[in-house]
Amino acid sequence: MSALFGLGLVIVLMTLVWIVSLFRRDVSIIDIFWGLGFVLLTWFYLYQGPGFSGASPRQLLMSTLVTVWGTRLALFIGWRNRGQGEDYRYAAMRQRIGPTFPWLSLITVFWLQALLCWLIAMPLLQVQRLSEGTTSPPLGGLDLLGLSLFAVGLFFETVGDWQMARFKSDPANRGQVLDRGLWRYTRHPNYFGDATVWWGLSCLALATPSSAWILFSPILMTFLLLRVSGVALLEEGLSKTKPQYADYVRRTSVFLPWPPKPESHRRQGS
């Protein structure tokens, strides 16, 4: 029942955000609440399971890590988007669909993201629901691996976002491509970091009994970042607006961090 209640909770949250978006005429405020949806779910599942006083170290660790990740993401997106107006993707949808867009956005944007949030958050449920007759195993190697992956992912996300924000704040860089720092080794350090965070959190869930089923969560998150809302969508726009982006693509790994190709390889088009 905790899972169904969790779904209802994120649907209520996203519906409230949708109502705010109607007054602001800005659907993109949902991006701020994406990470916060996971924070809400992890603490809700903990409360529904062992409660705060009966929580195991793994359950408290999971809730703390998700809170750090989700809060940082929400604060950064809120800061980045201040005064920017509606994201161009949503603005284009609004113009194309017309007067029915606000109502259609409830289903195709807000409730869809609520569903995705709920599905991806299944590792959180797996860890927190163990009070229902199962003892949580002590922390071990998988938890250490998960914590390490989480730390690497959070580093790439945080530093990548900071480097891009600093780059964009300099008017001299307008129309240019950032190819320094983490962006020298991967074209999307923030998306790589996001995926790595979820593989790390999933390792904590895999350290519990009968948990192999939750592997769909990091796979789904990685797929969304690579093929749907992240890399594919962003690169399509950048290729059209920045002519030098093609050379950046030739020399830089798309996702996994890797040293850039040598100049000779780039000239040969390899």
**pLDDT tens digits for range 11-58:** 999 999 999 999 999 999 999 999 999 999 999 999 988 788 888 999
Kindly state whether residues 165 and 249 are assigned to the same domain: yes
Q: What percent of the chain has pLDDT over 90?
A: 70
The last residue of one of the domains, among 80, 101, 136, is: 136
Identify the DSSP state of 185: T
Higher pLDDT, 63 or 132: 63
- Quickly count helices (H) and strands (E) in the chain: 13, 0
- Quick one: 223 and 248 in the same domain? yes
Residue 266: pLDDT over 60: no
Residues 171 and 121 sit within 8 Å (Cβ to Cβ): no
Closest CA to 65 of 131, 130, 121, 4: 121
Q: What is the CA radius of gyration of the chain?
A: 20
Query: What is the extent of the structural domain holding 24?
Result: 1-136
The pair of structure tokens assigned to 111 is: 């409730």
What is the separation of C-alpha 190 from the centre of its chain, rounded to a whole number of angstroms?
9
Average pLDDT of the chain is 90
> What would the mean pLDDT of 63-71 be, rounded to a whole number?
98
pLDDT at 267 over 90: no
Q: Are residues 126 and 164 in the same domain?
A: no
Q: Provide the pLDDT confidence category of residue 83 given band limits of 50, 70 and 90.
A: confident
Same domain, 238 and 259: yes
| Structure-token pair, residue 224 | 């969304």
Same domain, 213 and 113: no
User: How far, in Å, CA of 164 to CA of 210, rounded?
Assistant: 41
Is residue 130 domain-shared with residue 66, that is, in the same domain? yes
In which band, very low, low, confident or very high, does the pLDDT at 268 lie, cut at 50, 70 and 90?
A: very low
Answer yes or no: do 114 and 1 share one domain: yes
Q: So what's the pLDDT on residue 242?
A: 80
pLDDT the model gives residue 238: 79
CA dihedral 124, 126, 129, 130 (to 10 degrees): -130
> Are residue 201 and residue 267 in the same domain, yes or no?
yes
Instruction: Tally Cβ neighbours within 10 Å of residue 35.
Output: 22
If asked whether residues 269 and 229 sit together in one domain, one would say yes
Give the residue from 106, 136, 166 where a domain finishes: 136
Of 105, 136, 167, the position where a domain reaches its end is 136
User: Is residue 208 within 8 Å of 58, Cβ to Cβ?
Assistant: yes
* Same-domain status, 40 and 18: yes
Question: Do 65 and 81 fall into the same domain?
Answer: yes
Q: Name the domain count of the chain.
A: 2
Q: What is the largest CA-CA distance in the chain?
A: 62
> How many percent of the chain have pLDDT more than 70?
94
Whether 107 and 128 map to the same domain: the answer is yes
pLDDT tens figures, 89-111: 888 889 899 999 999 999 999 99
